[in-house]
Each structure stands twice: as structure tokens, then as C-alpha cells.
């Protein structure tokens, strides 16, 4: 029985976790700073790093308490080293190094994206996990990255395709800001899309037909922006005519959100399924905050069933940033 402490501070989640034998989460404490950054419409690195400094001792104490673990029972400490916001990373790395040094423990420097990919091993349904065999494809969709990776074994991944501009999560955040829905944008767009109709606006599916597995979301963002500006102008024009106004101007945000989400989901699925077919890989996993999106999970699930692929998603709590995935990746690295 081996335990590793994981520490995560790449963006706006301060998290510490104790994981046993790569897959068993004994504690995973996540203090989200989302509310703090919401008033700025996005994460402010200096604010995040100061908050990490304040929260790290508190969440770490809680992670030890909840897992009933003493520091001398640990095999190592794993910390997200990159990529992320430099001031936030510095705080987490400094804290982890100090803790490791003063307790004579090895410090494992983990790549945050590889940690997301390892998040799949934390799923509660351990029986299902036994079916995941290398090589498999991982659709990695977070706030800063959108990639398709071929995972060949526990230490090697190959990038098959990636975004040429915005990441999928970043596009969700920008459209939410445009619609005045706050930060982070993904969860709220996902939620209000359920009230809208995804066929209302036929937004572009950028690069869906391109002969590679790369993505681009900036053109889609511009198309949504233009449509929103047209709707807002029309609503202003009809503000005196009650009937026309309510037909046009109530609920338009849900329709925009649903149509935008559908465009992103379609591109992500099309590229991933094509890559799996081309590479003759029949297992697909997902990782990162956007993999919590219910439309993406449902639609990919249905298409995978039709096309005979096996698909595995991380549990929702291990999609967004958390320290348990960092500790799990730590096991793979030692």
C-alpha cells in the first residue's frame, strides 16, 4: 500500500489529495477560486497566486485529515510543474518543495496535461477500467489546451492533433463572457443550452473537413459574436413592440449557447472519431474541464456505440483541475 500526496495550483483551483496505489482516492480537497475571479471575467494570475498561498496550508491539512494519513506514511509528493499560470505554479511548486525537503520525501514534477490524462484511472467504476488497454486515444479538452493524443503506454503519449488558436474551454469562457453569463463559462453554457435549440443558428464547424486532426475555434467565436450583435440591435429596435420583442428577445441566449455548443461538440467528435478510425484504435478516453460537458459525453457516447468504439470518461470531479489526478500521474512516473 503506497500513498502519494498530490498538489495542484496551475490555474484557479487550489487542491491537495492523497491517493493510494494510483487509483484509490483517499482525499481530494479542491478550493475553487472561480467566484473570486468571476468579477474580472477570467482568472487574474496575481490574485490566484496570492489565494493559493493562503489556501494551500488549509487544504493540505484537510487532505491529510480526511485520508487519515500522516506525512511519514507518504512515498512521495507530486506537484503540477507546467503548463499553467507562472505565478500560480511558483506558489504550488515552492510549497511542495518545502514540504518534500523538510520531510525527506522525493518530489515528483508532473506535467499538468499528462495528469489530466491519468484522471481516467480515478473513476469509481474500477471494473470498467480493466478494459482500458494501450494504445488508446485521449481527447484532451481544457481551458488552455485542445489536443488529441495517442497514449501508447503509461509513460508515452503522442500529439496527433491540436488547436491552432483558442482552446475549446477558452471558447466556452469567451462566449459566456459575451453573453454576460460569468466565469467559468463552460458549466453555465452547458446548463442554459438545455433550455435552447441547437439547430436555431447554423454556426460554422471550423476545420471539420480538413485533412488533419487540428482544431480552430476563433472563426466560430467571431461568427457567434456577429450573430449576438445582430440580435441585440434587433431587440433594441423592437423594444417598443411587445409581441415581436418577446418572440425574438426572450430566450435567445439559450439558443445561441446551444447552437455554439453543438458546433464545438461536432468538431471535437468528428476529429476524434476520424483519428481513431485512421489509427485503428478502438478505445477513446477524454480528459480536462470540457470533458464534463454533458452534450459532448452523450453525443460521443452514442456515436462510439454506433461505430463500435469503447469510450471512457473521467468521473465529473476528475475532469476539472484537481490534485488527485496529479498524485495518480505521480505513481506512473515512479
Query: Which residues contribute to the site for Zn ion (CB under 5 A)?
Result: 142, 321
With CB under 5 to 8 Å by kind, the binding choice for 185 among ligand KG4, Zn ion, none is: ligand KG4
48 or 105, CB closer to ligand KG4?
Answer: 48
In the complex, what is the shortest distance from the CB of residue 324 to ligand KG4, in angstroms, rounded to a whole number? 13
Q: Which of residues 2-41 bind ligand KG4 (CB under 6 A)?
A: 11
Count the site residues for ligand KG4 by CB under 6 A: 19
74 binds ligand KG4 per the rule CB under 6 A: no
In the complex, what is the shortest distance from the CB of residue 288 to Zn ion, in angstroms, rounded to a whole number? 6
Q: Which of residues 164-183 bind ligand KG4 (CB under 6 A)?
A: 169, 172-173
In the complex, what is the shortest distance from the CB of residue 66 to ligand KG4, in angstroms, rounded to a whole number? 21
184 binds ligand KG4 per the rule CB under 6 A: yes
In the complex, what is the shortest distance from the CB of residue 144 to Zn ion, in angstroms, rounded to a whole number? 7
300 binds ligand KG4 per the rule CB under 6 A: no
In the complex, what is the shortest distance from the CB of residue 61 to ligand KG4, in angstroms, rounded to a whole number? 23
Q: How many CB atoms lie within 10 A of CB 270?
A: 16
Amino acid at each position: 500500500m503506497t500513498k502519494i500526496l498530490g498538489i495542484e495550483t496551475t490555474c484557479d483551483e487550489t487542491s491537495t489529495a492523497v491517493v493510494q496505489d494510483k487509483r484509490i482516492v483517499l482525499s481530494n480537497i479542491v478550493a475553487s477560486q472561480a467566484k473570486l475571479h468571476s468579477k474580472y471575467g477570467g482568472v487574474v494570475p496575481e490574485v490566484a497566486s496570492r489565494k493559493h498561498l493562503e489556501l494551500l496550508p488549509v487544504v493540505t491539512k484537510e487532505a491529510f485529515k480526511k485520508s487519515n494519513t500522516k506525512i511519514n506514511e507518504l512515498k512521495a509528493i507530486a506537484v503540477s510543474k507546467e503548463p499553467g499560470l507562472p505565478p500560480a505554479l511558483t506558489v504550488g511548486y515552492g510549497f511542495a518543495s518545502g514540504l518534500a525537503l523538510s520531510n525527506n520525501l522525493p518530489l515528483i514534477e508532473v506535467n499538468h496535461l499528462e495528469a489530466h490524462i491519468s484522471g481516467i484511472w480515478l473513476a469509481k467504476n474500477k471494473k470498467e477500467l480493466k478494459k482500458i488497454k494501450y494504445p488508446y486515444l485521449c481527447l484532451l479538452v481544457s481551458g488552455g489546451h485542445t489536443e488529441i493524443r495517442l497514449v501508447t503506454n503509461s509513460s508515452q503519449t503522442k500529439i496527433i492533433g491540436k488547436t491552432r488558436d483558442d482552446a475549446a474551454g477558452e471558447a466556452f469562457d469567451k462566449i459566456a463572457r459575451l453573453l454576460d453569463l460569468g466565469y467559468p463559462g463552460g458549466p453555465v453554457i452547458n446548463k442554459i443550452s438545455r433550455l435552447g435549440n441547437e439547430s436555431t443558428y447554423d454556426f460554422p464547424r471550423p476545420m471539420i473537413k480538413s485533412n488533419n486532426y487540428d482544431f480552430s475555434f476563433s472563426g466560430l467565436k467571431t461568427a457567434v459574436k456577429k450573430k449576438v450583435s445582430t440580435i441585440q440591435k434587433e431587440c433594441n429596435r423592437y423594444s417598443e413592440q411587445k409581441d415581436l420583442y418577446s418572440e425574438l428577445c426572450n430566450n435567445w441566449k439559450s439558443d445561441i449557447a446551444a447552437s455554439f455548443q453543438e458546433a464545438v461538440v461536432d468538431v471535437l467528435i468528428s476529429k476524434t472519431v476520424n483519428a481513431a478510425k485512421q489509427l485503428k484504435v478502438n478505445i477513446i478516453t477524454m480528459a480536462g474541464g470540457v470533458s464534463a460537458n454533458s452534450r459532448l459525453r452523450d453525443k460521443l457516447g452514442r456515436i462510439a456505440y454506433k461505430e463500435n468504439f469503447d469510450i471512457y470518461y473521467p468521473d465529473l470531479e476528475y475532469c476539472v483541475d484537481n490534485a488527485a489526478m496529479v498524485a495518480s500521474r505521480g505513481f506512473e512516473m515512479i
